[in-house]
Structure 1
Amino acid sequence: MRKKSFEYQHYNHSIGLAIVHLVFVPKRRKPVLKSDIRNRLYQIWQELATDKNWNIRACEIAPDHVHLFIEFPPTIPIHLIVRFLKGRSSNFLRKEFP
């Protein structure tokens, strides 16, 4: 579910909008994010975003790096988002593409 415009999220005692631009790079910037791996990575992140109620605003996957704009509730620290994204994708991709 993609939103077209920026909408502030309303909570019990606050209003906020948290969107972050993340850049991920494979080890030694090897061009490994191609074809099936690229598609599976995007699918894993979409599933995770749906589970966690996040919104992926934009995702550009190049062979040697990834740009990701993600919207999330401001109560979640950014380091946890990075941990979930990298952890789940690394685990699944290593099992599926040895």
Structure 2
Amino acid sequence: MSVQYKKNRHAAYLLHAHIVFVTKYRRKIFAPAHHDAFREAARQVCAEFGVEIEECNGESDHVHLLVNYPPSIQLTRLINSLKAVSSRRMRRQFADLVAAYSKPVLWSRAYFVSSCGGAPLSVIKEYIENQQG
């Protein structure tokens, strides 16, 4: 398998991050339609940042993303945008998400992010693909 490095004016790179968002209070509120809406919101946010989503899936209380990003991106800014935009859009689209919380929230304040240099990407992709969603 040959590695396809990305290039811009000043760098050649291949950066991947595994990101996990958990619902507030770990409530099991996501159905397949919610995951589809999250994927669409994440796709739009990532496109604005110049980030590629390689995999996106999850279960009833969390979502996983595997992204390929340029070195100019600050992951914290990307993550904050992903959480804010997806929360706002999904709560606007689904009344059941609004009813699940007394305040306008969806995600826990915490998140998980890991660079993917240690494990083969195929292992991480397979893990995310096997999430229920």
**Structure whose alpha-carbon radius of gyration is higher:** 2
- Structure 2: gaps spanning 5 or more residues: 99-133
Per-residue CA deviations over 1:55-91 (Å, capped at 9, x if unaligned) read 1111122111111101111111110110111010011
Per-residue CA deviations over 1:4-46 (Å, capped at 9, x if unaligned) read x752121222211221000110011111111322221111112
Q: Distance in 1 between matches of 2:4 and 2:78?
A: 20
RMSD: 1.6
Residue in 2 that maps onto 1:81 = 78
Equivalences for 1:1-98 in 2 at 5 Å? 6-97=3-94, 98=98
Count, aligned residues: 94
Q: Show structure 1 runs of 4+ deviating over 4 A.
A: none
Q: Distance in 1 between matches of 2:82 and 2:6?
A: 22
Q: CA 1:88–1:12 in structure 2 vs 1: closer, same or farther (change >3 Å)?
A: same
Q: Distance in 2 between matches of 1:20 and 1:12?
A: 22
TM-score between both structures, scaled by the size of structure 1:
0.84
Segment of structure 1 superposing worse, 19-28 or 51-60:
51-60
- Structure 1: gaps spanning 5 or more residues: none
Q: Distance in 2 between matches of 1:57 and 1:31?
A: 25
The percent identity for this pair of structures is: 28
Q: Distance in 2 between matches of 1:54 and 1:28?
A: 29
